[in-house]
């Protein structure tokens, strides 16, 4: 694979991710149920989020390569909100959520973190991600400071540590469609941020 893999650390810094090639060749076609089983095995045996992501990214790439039905299932952004979600997998008491997410061109998300590890694989369009880190001040404990940005094109995968803060902007002349995978969310640690007011709110 020539497409780059990226990781956003908890402090907002983004760098290339050195992934771990699977020890054994995967079944082909690599179907969603096999992918979920492999993910469960990784979660059971590896507790470190960084190491988990290094092993998960190659599996995501194989799933996407072997699953043209994902492209045929493309959803359209809601014209009112500018975005929409199609949940592919979300089982109670299973710490994973898999979605397709669509953003209308020109739409900008709130600044937020996810309260869990996760990754986004871009299937269509161009997406800018801007990154922040917490920069608390005596009178503004939730102040954040912008760190950098990364533009994603089709084939790119961007991974997040649980406290990584980012904002999405759908660029270009077409909607963005992405395959999103999230671990178990700590909702007490999931926030939207206002850098002007220096505030944060659970969502």
* Average pLDDT value over all residues in the chain: 94
| Three-class secondary structure of residue 122 per DSSP | strand
1 has a pLDDT exceeding 60: no
The CATH number assigned to the domain holding 77 equals 2.60.120.10
CA–CA separation, 122 and 60 (whole Å):
11
Neighbours of 1 (CB within 10 A): 12
| Inter-axis angle of helices 32-45 and 49-65, nearest 10 | 170
Query: Which pLDDT belongs to residue 86?
Result: 95
Query: Which pLDDT belongs to residue 150?
Result: 98
Chain segment 18-68, per-residue pLDDT in tens: 999 998 878 889 999 999 999 999 999 999 999 999 999 999 999 999 998
Query: Which pLDDT belongs to residue 68?
Result: 87
Look at the alpha carbons of 181, 186, 188, 194 in this order and tell me if their dihedral is positive or negative. Answer: negative
Query: Which pLDDT belongs to residue 2?
Result: 65
Chain segment 83-102, per-residue pLDDT in tens: 999 999 998 888 999 999 99
Sheet containing strand 5-8, edge to edge, reads 14-16, 5-8, 157-160, 118-124, 176-182, 97-103, 83-90
Number of domains, the chain: 1
Q: List beta partners, residue 96.
A: none
CA–CA separation, 8 and 59 (whole Å):
19
- With 0-12 / 13-18 / 19 or more C-beta atoms within 10 angstroms meaning exposed / middle / buried, residue 132 is buried
Q: How confident is the model at residue 171 (pLDDT cuts 50, 70, 90)?
A: very high
What is the domain range of residue 78? 5-202
């Amino acid at each position: 694979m020539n497409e780059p893999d990226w990781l956003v650390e908890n402090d907002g810094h983004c760098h290339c991710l050195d992934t771990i090639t699977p020890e054994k060749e995967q079944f082909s076609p690599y179907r969603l149920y096999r992918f979920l089983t492999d993910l469960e095995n990784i979660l059971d045996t590896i507790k470190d989020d960084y190491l988990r992501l290094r092993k998960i990214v190659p599996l995501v790439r194989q799933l996407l390569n072997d699953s043209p039905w994902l492209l045929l299932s493309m959803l359209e952004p809601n014209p009112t909100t500018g975005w929409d979600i199609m949940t592919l997998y979300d089982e109670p008491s299973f710490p994973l959520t898999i979605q397709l997410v669509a953003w209308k061109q020109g739409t900008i998300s709130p600044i937020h973190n996810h309260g869990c590890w996760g990754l986004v694989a871009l299937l269509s369009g161009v997406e800018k991600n801007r990154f922040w880190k917490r920069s608390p001040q005596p009178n503004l404990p939730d102040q954040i400071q912008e760190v950098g940005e990364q533009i994603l094109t089709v084939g790119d995968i961007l991974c997040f540590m649980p406290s990584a803060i980012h904002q999405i902007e759908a660029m270009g002349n077409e909607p963005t469609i992405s395959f999103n995978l999230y671990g178990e969310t700590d909702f007490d640690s999931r926030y939207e941020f206002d850098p002007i007011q220096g505030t944060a709110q659970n969502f």
